[in-house]
Amino acid sequence: MSADRVEEAERAEETGGVAAEGVATMAATANAVRYYSVAPGVRLNVRRGPGTAYGIVRVLPEGARIPIYCQTPGTNVSGPYGTSNIWDNIDDGEFVADAYVQTGSDGYVRPRCS
């Protein structure tokens, strides 16, 4: 939870819980993030942005499961699950090619990144 949300929650407690509902809803939404499997036998590059021209931040091990917070268009990539320009945001400033993630769909399964 961000410092702003912590302060908001503290103010809500002081004012009788007015903002507590928003904080609880945000927590429930954060808990609703699904995890998806990376293609079997693949060590997947995690990049700084949605494309192969971005630097590699780290490499996910075989058998990794990842959260997808949002998705955005980027470089076309061919992988075990087809060819796609969709990139999955798995952490702050970290993206993986959706063609290597078993989402069960050829399209977007999460909101677009803003």
Q: Give pTM, 2 decimals.
A: 0.73
pLDDT, tens digit (0-9, with 9 covering 90-100), for 72-82 = 999 999 999 99
Residues 68, 38, 45, 58: is their CA dihedral positive or negative?
Answer: positive
pLDDT, tens digit (0-9, with 9 covering 90-100), for 32-56 = 789 999 999 999 999 999 999 999 9
Confidence of residue 62 (pLDDT cuts 50, 70, 90): very high
CA 108 vs. chain centroid, Å, equals 12
Q: Where are the domains of the chain?
A: 1-32, 35-102
Residues 29, 88, 57, 41: is their CA dihedral positive or negative?
Answer: positive
Cβ contact 100:44 at 8 Å: yes
CATH class of 35-102: mainly beta
Cβ contact 59:78 at 8 Å: no
